[in-house]
Amino acid sequence: MNRIRTIIRIIAALSLLMPCTTADAVDKDGKFILVIDPGHGGKDPGAVNGKSQEKTINLNIALKMGKLIEDNCSNVKVIYTRKTDVFVELYKRADIANKAGADMFISVHTNSAKSKSANGAETYLLGVEENRASANLNAALEENKAILLENDYEAHYEGYDPNSPESMIIFQFMQNEYQKESLKMATMTQNRMTGNAKRPDRGVHQAGYLVLWKSTMPSILIELGFISNDNECKYLTSQKGIDEMGKSLYLAFKDYLDYYNSQLEKAVPVSQAIGNKGQDDELPVYKVQFMSIRKPLGQNDKRLKDYESVSYYTEDGVCKYTCGDTTDYEAALNAKKEVQKKYKDAFVIAVYKGRKISVKQAREIASKK
**Applying CB under 5 A, which part among 104-112, 207-215, 266-274, 302-310 lies near Zn ion?**
104-112
- The continuous run of DSSP H or E covering 178 comes out as none
Minimum distance from residue 41 beta carbon to Zn ion (Å)? 10
Q: What are phi and psi of 26, to 5 degrees?
A: -70, 115
Which residue number places its CB atom closest to Zn ion?
109
Minimum distance from residue 13 beta carbon to Zn ion (Å)? 24
Q: Is 55 a binder of Zn ion (CB under 5 A)? A: no
| Residue closer to Zn ion (CB basis): 208 or 278 | 208
Binding to Zn ion, residues 2-31 (CB under 5 A)? none
| Residue closer to Zn ion (CB basis): 68 or 141 | 141
Binding to Zn ion, residues 125-144 (CB under 5 A)? 143
Minimum distance from residue 105 beta carbon to Zn ion (Å)? 15
Q: Cα(316)–Cα(337) distance, rounded to whole angstroms? A: 27
**Applying CB under 5 A, which part among 103-111, 166-174, 188-196, 279-287 lies near Zn ion?**
103-111
Whole-angstrom Cα Rg for the chain: 23
Minimum distance from residue 317 beta carbon to Zn ion (Å)? 41
Minimum distance from residue 39 beta carbon to Zn ion (Å)? 4
**Applying CB under 5 A, which part among 37-45, 72-80, 95-103, 202-210 lies near Zn ion?**
37-45
| Residue closer to Zn ion (CB basis): 10 or 242 | 242
Q: Is 39 a binder of Zn ion (CB under 5 A)? A: yes
Minimum distance from residue 5 beta carbon to Zn ion (Å)? 30
Q: What is the spatial order of strands in the sheet that 76-80 belongs to?
A: 76-80, 32-38, 104-111, 219-226, 121-126, 201-207
Minimum distance from residue 333 beta carbon to Zn ion (Å)? 48
Minimum distance from residue 138 beta carbon to Zn ion (Å)? 13
| Residue closer to Zn ion (CB basis): 47 or 274 | 47
Contact 114, 176 (CB under 8 A): no
Q: Is 109 a binder of Zn ion (CB under 5 A)? A: yes
Q: Give the total of residues touching Zn ion (CB under 5 A).
A: 4
Q: Cα(311)–Cα(272) distance, rounded to whole angstroms? A: 8
- List 10, 26, 37, 46, residue binding Zn ion (CB under 5 A): 46
| Residue closer to Zn ion (CB basis): 168 or 362 | 168
| Residue closer to Zn ion (CB basis): 147 or 335 | 147
| Residue closer to Zn ion (CB basis): 46 or 127 | 46
Q: Is 101 a binder of Zn ion (CB under 5 A)? A: no
**Applying CB under 5 A, which part among 38-46, 60-68, 207-215, 237-245 lies near Zn ion?**
38-46
Minimum distance from residue 223 beta carbon to Zn ion (Å)? 8
| Residue closer to Zn ion (CB basis): 95 or 143 | 143
Residues found near Zn ion in the complex (CB under 5 A)? 39, 46, 109, 143
